[in-house]
Amino acid sequence: MEAKATKEAQEAQRLQLRSLQYLERYIYLILFNAYLRLEKASSWQRPFSTWMREVATKAGIYEILNQLGFPELESMEDQPLSRLRYRWQEQSQDPEPYDAGDFL
């Protein structure tokens, strides 16, 4: 019984990590769309990575990404997955192949 509970908890954490990764990707897509729209006038002279440092950082996007989660479902203090660095470390250690169509 205890092994089943442990396995279910691990599966729940894996699914939560995957959900947060998808949410993070969606945010990056929104940011990239904003970059394309805002930088069009200058013919995209500034690379996206530079735009992220100069524009998105000032808007607080990294603070948002570093507190990403589902607060209505969990206590944020107990959730290391809410932190950007932890999610990326977990992603790099995930032995499972991603589904077809996934991208990093």
pLDDT in tens, 52-99: 999 999 999 988 888 887 777 666 566 666 777 677 766 666 655 455
**Predicted local confidence at residue 93, as pLDDT:** 66
**Predicted local confidence at residue 104, as pLDDT:** 44
Average per-residue pLDDT in the chain? 82
**Predicted local confidence at residue 87, as pLDDT:** 72
**Predicted local confidence at residue 17, as pLDDT:** 86
The position carrying tokens 């995209």 is 44
Let me know: does 91 contact 21? Beta carbons within 8 Å.
Answer: yes
**Predicted local confidence at residue 49, as pLDDT:** 95
Taking Cα atoms as reference points, which of 9, 17, 2 lies closest to residue 96?
Answer: 17
pLDDT of residue 101 exceeding 60: no
**Predicted local confidence at residue 48, as pLDDT:** 97
Q: Please give the Cα distance from 46 to 98 (Å, whole number).
A: 31
Q: Please give the Cα distance from 11 to 91 (Å, whole number).
A: 15
Q: What is the mean pLDDT of residues 29-54?
A: 96
Residue 32, C-beta contacts closer than 8 angstroms, at least 6 positions apart: 48
pLDDT tier at 3, thresholds 50, 70, 90 = confident
